[in-house]
Amino acid sequence: MLKRISLLTGAFALVFTLSANGQEYTDARALVEAAFEKAGGAKWESVESMVMSSSMSIDSPQGEMMGTAKLTFVYPGYLHARILLDVDDGSGMPMGPITQVMTPDTGYVQTDQGTQSMPGGNGPKAASDEMYMLRDGGPELALEIAELDGAQVYKVTATSDDETSMHYYAMGSLVKLAKEVQTPGGSTWIHYDDYRDLDGLMVAHKMTQDMAGGMKQILTMKSIEVNSGVDKDKLFGAKDQ
């Protein structure tokens, strides 16, 4: 009898601990607000630019490619990506750099073969997804419980006129685990790992992107610079920069 009482007391203590230290969210905005605060909160509002230098691996049906990438974000709306892959161009010569540029008005991809124009407006909407989701007039948010990699997680669906994205958060810590974006070519997933503190900002240092066609791209950060004085005119001016 005493053993049974002890077990019941332990169970009630566990329930009380979970109730006191944890919170079950039923409102999407409240969850996003809490996740935003845990990731740095208002500190994100001062982020004007971010430069990420990383190693890169690309797994495709044709095999694996290795290389490096330098991603420069200027918020909102601007992305400059310079990629070097350790492969040849088919003639035994190293392939040249791949440059992708996105601005609010235009975009392009530049390779050894030339330059291809892209539509504008596909750059980063804010320094933090959560900051964008919480802004006045932002996307409509909906919350549900889902499963990711065998564990229950919070899933927030953000719907706007031009995009629908799904954001997955760990139930206990509210760490963002993944993001899913619906595109004309299918869903694109980004998984986030190895979070580190950068002057109060929690930033993932490993990102794995699953793309349509069976391709997987892994970025492992070597360095991340915040507000390092990006030359915006040089990066986003003429196409030959």
Which pTM value belongs to this model? 0.84
Question: Two tokens at 232?
Answer: 């915006």
Q: How many CB atoms lie within 10 A of CB 94?
A: 12
| 230 vs 73: CA distance, rounded Å | 9
Predicted pLDDT of residue 105 = 93
Consecutive H or E run containing 140: strand 140-148
Predicted pLDDT of residue 107 = 94
- 8 Å CB contact between 25 and 31: yes
Q: How many CB atoms lie within 10 A of CB 73?
A: 21
Question: Two tokens at 137?
Answer: 């007039």
- Give the pLDDT band of residue 74 (cuts 50, 70, 90): very high
Predicted pLDDT of residue 99 = 94
Predicted pLDDT of residue 2 = 35
Q: Give the model confidence (pLDDT) of 199-228 as tens digits.
A: 999 999 999 999 777 789 999 999 999 999
pLDDT over 60 (residue 7): no
| 138 vs 140: CA distance, rounded Å | 7
Task: Classify burial at 22, counting beta carbons within 10 Å of its beta carbon; exposed 0-12, middle 13-18, buried 19 or more.
Answer: exposed
Predicted pLDDT of residue 95 = 73
- Give the pLDDT band of residue 22 (cuts 50, 70, 90): low
pLDDT over 90 (residue 144): yes
- 8 Å CB contact between 23 and 33: no
pLDDT over 50 (residue 104): yes
- Residue 43, classed as helix, strand or coil, is helix
